[in-house]
Chain A
Amino acid sequence: MILGSINPAVLMAALMVAATPILLAAIGELVVEKSGVLNLGVEGMMIMGACIGFIVAVNTGSPLIGFAGAALGGMALALLFALLTQALMTNQVASGLALTLFGLGLTALLGQQYVGITPPRTPRLDLGPLAEIPFFGRAFFRHDIVVYLSILLVGAVWWFLKYSRAGMILRAVGENHDAAHALGYSVKRVRLLAIVFGGACAGLGGAYLSLIRVPQWTEGMTVGAGWIALALVVFASWRPWRALAGAYLFGGVVVLQLNLQAAGVRIPVEYLSMSPYLITILVLVIISSGKGRGSLNAPGSLNRPFHASS
């Protein structure tokens, strides 16, 4: 009776929106990890995208240019990470964490003048008659363009990794960098490109928060979304479509939790808010149990530095 007030179509629509920022960041990080690099600085790159995207959108009046700026912002921070880990051979875990610290501080400085400003509005994509279909229209066809772009991006990354020659090289580099090097591929160049792509995606994810989801700029506004994106990649066992499913599942748990609360269902909120993390751990266990690393699909060279010795 109480649950009657929850509309499944709206729930679906809401979870797609809630999932989009983490999905964007996760699909980028997935490519980075597939190339054998672990970049823990996703949170830093996301907040950078949120900030730069906001600044650019406000100054140009165009949310789309803002998103482009956000991608560039994320890429700039990713380049710093690439310089450190690929050229200077620093440890990836430490560099990634430092990147997050740096990104949070830098954006707080850059964004000081932009607190309390409303950014230009991103319109919803007009899908005409599709939006009018019962249930499906409300659930799937009344979103802004970035929601659809994020899904397209997942498809593109899936195709790229599975069917393109460049994708094959990227996987080879991630799987065994020594072998890839012996075959004549430039391990560092491949990884550099992957890291930069990851930065761009994280930047877009951040900008989705500051330009569409919230929309405002406040320092630290990503509040851990980057860390969730990292979890998603493993949750997805490095498979793009599973990342999509995982992001929607995660968004779904958050949105459902809020719906149950609003409907007055007696739920222990403080414990329920742990559930997305516990479920992710559970799924991790199920996916990885008993089948060994091969089925886990983990890149063989993940988090291992590469230096061409010849």
Chain B
Amino acid sequence: MIRLEKRKQPSRFWRIANPFLAVALTMLAGGVMFAALGKDPLVAIRLIFFDPIFSETFASYSRPQLLIKSAPLILIAVGLAIGFKAGIWNIGAEGQYIIGALFGAGVALAFFPQPGWYIFPLMVIAGAFGGFLWAMIPAILKTRFNTNEILVSLLLVYVAERILAAMALGLMRNPDQPGFPGSRDLRRYEAAHNAELFANTGIHWGVVAALIAVIFAYVMMTRHMLGFHVQLAGQAPRAARFGGVSPTRLVVICLGISGALAGLAGMFEVSGPGGQVRIEFASGYGFTAIIVAFLGRLNPLGIVFAGLLLGLTYIGGELSQMMLQIPGAAIQVFQGMLLFFLLALDFQTNYRIRLTKGARA
């Protein structure tokens, strides 16, 4: 009889070893799939995991790209993780990301074509505010009416997507190109452009913001009273209430932080790598970030690694499509496997496998 036994303390060894084991297992299972598709599994896996970082042809370009792809994921996931720890489930980061981008872009388009050092900082504030505002809808509905935040935040994603389409086709449409959907290209408007800070490093303000958010979240969760409250609320809600933690305040703070960070991510994306408000601007960062948050075990440092690992599979996945003609769907399955293995193996951190005699379930 195999049964799981809860460890008294999470295992340090498995905490470190699991991700490596998961990647190894994914390579194995993915390799079988690639072989079944008639592709060389070794080459495929090398293209996905190594070439983006080490290949002479691609690495100098794709290494910085890793930061560009991972930064929004990390920025959003860090915020979400705080709420998840407290048992507050914001799964609508995608919507907050969109609204943040629209607010940020709105400021830029309002000032166009004026120059001004103050425009970009204003956009940053607007972006964070937009995401914050959108997250306040589920927060207020939850605190006032006890409405489930999982569902409201999720439903608001669909509303945000439609607002985005309406903006790209209407209010924010580039007036110099009548008829075409999409706003001006913010990369061509210097005062609003979230450009690379150092050439060819991939480091733009969004990467810096992600770094700051990670440090901020780490300090908050380990050193600050608020972090303690968050942990307490998540682990023992009743004790937290007796301990003077206001659930209302916590809901507002957690949703507010995650919304603001998601909004920031959207704003940095629309003013930099994304470039403009377009119907298809949202590409699922908000949902992927939820997975990143859990892969990182809701720990800010873990999230950095999880974000980079997932970013790597995206970039490597494109390379393997390009160089080996592996179908895009197979890459998606491969990523799905990686997530499953990472999640599945995690039990070893908190549980121990015991072989016992007799059958007591």
A20 to chain B, nearest CB (A): 20
- Given the complex of chains A and B, what is the CA–CA distance between A108 and B326 in angstroms? 13
Report yes or no: B141 in contact with A281, Cβ–Cβ below 8 A.
Answer: yes
Q: Is the interface of A mostly helix, strand, loop or mixed?
A: helix
Q: Considering only CB atoms, which chain B residue lies closest to A287 in the complex? A: B147
- Given the complex of chains A and B, what is the CA–CA distance between A254 and B361 in angstroms? 48
Interface residue from A95, A277, A285, A309 paired with B158 (Cβ < 8 Å): A277
- Given the complex of chains A and B, what is the CA–CA distance between A46 and B61 in angstroms? 39
Query: Provided the pairs A108-B327, A270-B166, A289-B146 are in contact, do residues A84 and B343 lie with their beta carbons within 8 angstroms?
Result: yes
Q: Does B152 contact A (CB under 8 A)?
A: yes
Report yes or no: B151 in contact with A231, Cβ–Cβ below 8 A.
Answer: yes
- Given the complex of chains A and B, what is the CA–CA distance between A271 and B148 in angstroms? 24
Note all chain A residues with C-beta closer than 8 A to B155: 231, 277, 280-281
Interface residue from B145, B151, B166, B336 paired with A234 (Cβ < 8 Å): B151
Report yes or no: B151 in contact with A94, Cβ–Cβ below 8 A.
Answer: no
Chain A: number of interface residues, binned into ranges: 35 or more
Report yes or no: A101 in contact with B145, Cβ–Cβ below 8 A.
Answer: no
A57-90 residues with Cβ-Cβ distance < 8 A to B are 80, 83-84, 87-90
B307 to chain A, nearest CB (A): 14
- Given the complex of chains A and B, what is the CA–CA distance between A95 and B295 in angstroms? 10
Q: Does B290 contact A (CB under 8 A)?
A: yes
Q: Does A93 contact B (CB under 8 A)?
A: yes
Q: Does A278 contact B (CB under 8 A)?
A: yes
Query: Provided the pairs A40-B91, A102-B339, A309-B6 are in contact, do residues A270 and B169 lie with their beta carbons within 8 angstroms?
Result: yes
Note all chain A residues with C-beta closer than 8 A to B84: 93
Write the B152-169 contact mask toward A (1 if CB under 8 angstroms, else 0): 101110110011011001
Q: Considering only CB atoms, which chain A residue lies closest to B165 in the complex? A: A270
Q: Considering only CB atoms, which chain A residue lies closest to B338 in the complex? A: A98
Note all chain A residues with C-beta closer than 8 A to B336: 98-99, 101-103, 105-106
Query: Provided the pairs A98-B291, A281-B141, A288-B145 are in contact, do residues A104 and B158 lie with their beta carbons within 8 angstroms?
Result: no
Q: Considering only CB atoms, which chain B residue lies closest to A189 in the complex? A: B361
Report yes or no: A285 in contact with B294, Cβ–Cβ below 8 A.
Answer: no
Interface residue from A91, A270, A307 paired with B294 (Cβ < 8 Å): A91
B326-341 residues with Cβ-Cβ distance < 8 A to A are 327-337, 339-340
A104 to chain B, nearest CB (A): 6
Note all chain B residues with C-beta closer than 8 A to A277: 155-156, 158-159
Note all chain A residues with C-beta closer than 8 A to B287: 97
Query: Provided the pairs A102-B339, A281-B156 are in contact, do residues A84 and B344 lie with their beta carbons within 8 angstroms?
Result: yes
- Given the complex of chains A and B, what is the CA–CA distance between A149 and B169 in angstroms? 42
Interface residue from A87, A235, A273, A303 paired with B89 (Cβ < 8 Å): A303
Report yes or no: B340 in contact with A94, Cβ–Cβ below 8 A.
Answer: no
Report yes or no: B291 in contact with A109, Cβ–Cβ below 8 A.
Answer: no
Report yes or no: A108 in contact with B329, Cβ–Cβ below 8 A.
Answer: yes
Note all chain B residues with C-beta closer than 8 A to A180: none
Q: Does B347 contact A (CB under 8 A)?
A: yes
Report yes or no: B332 in contact with A101, Cβ–Cβ below 8 A.
Answer: yes
A109 to chain B, nearest CB (A): 5
- Given the complex of chains A and B, what is the CA–CA distance between A230 and B336 in angstroms? 21
Q: Does B350 contact A (CB under 8 A)?
A: yes
Interface residue from B144, B152, B339, B351 paired with A89 (Cβ < 8 Å): B351
Report yes or no: B340 in contact with A102, Cβ–Cβ below 8 A.
Answer: yes
Q: Does B4 contact A (CB under 8 A)?
A: yes
Write the A98-142 contact mask toward B (1 if CB under 8 angstroms, else 0): 110111111011001000000000000000000000000000000
- Given the complex of chains A and B, what is the CA–CA distance between A111 and B344 in angstroms? 27
Report yes or no: B329 in contact with A97, Cβ–Cβ below 8 A.
Answer: no
Q: Does A259 contact B (CB under 8 A)?
A: no
Interface residue from A90, A230, A270, A309 paired with B154 (Cβ < 8 Å): A230
- Given the complex of chains A and B, what is the CA–CA distance between A126 and B45 in angstroms? 55
Q: Does B190 contact A (CB under 8 A)?
A: no
Q: Which 9 A-B pairs have the closest CB atoms?
A: A105-B332, A102-B336, A108-B329, A94-B294, A98-B339, A105-B333, A289-B145, A270-B166, A90-B343
Binding site for B on A (CB under 8 A): 38, 40, 80, 83-84, 87-91, 93-95, 97-99, 101-106, 108-109, 112, 186, 188, 219, 224, 227, 230-231, 234-235, 270-271, 273-274, 277-278, 280-281, 284-285, 288-290, 292-293, 296, 298, 303, 307-309
Known A101-B332, A230-B151, A235-B151; further 18 A-B contacts with Cβ < 8 A: A38-B150, A40-B91, A84-B343, A88-B343, A94-B293, A97-B287, A104-B329, A105-B331, A106-B332, A109-B333, A234-B148, A271-B162, A273-B162, A274-B158, A281-B141, A281-B156, A288-B146, A307-B4
Can you report 26 A-B residue pairs in the complex whose CB atoms are below 8 A from each other?
A: A84-B340, A89-B347, A90-B346, A93-B91, A93-B294, A95-B340, A98-B336, A98-B339, A99-B336, A102-B332, A102-B340, A104-B332, A105-B334, A106-B333, A109-B333, A112-B329, A230-B151, A234-B148, A234-B150, A234-B151, A235-B151, A270-B170, A274-B158, A274-B163, A280-B151, A288-B148
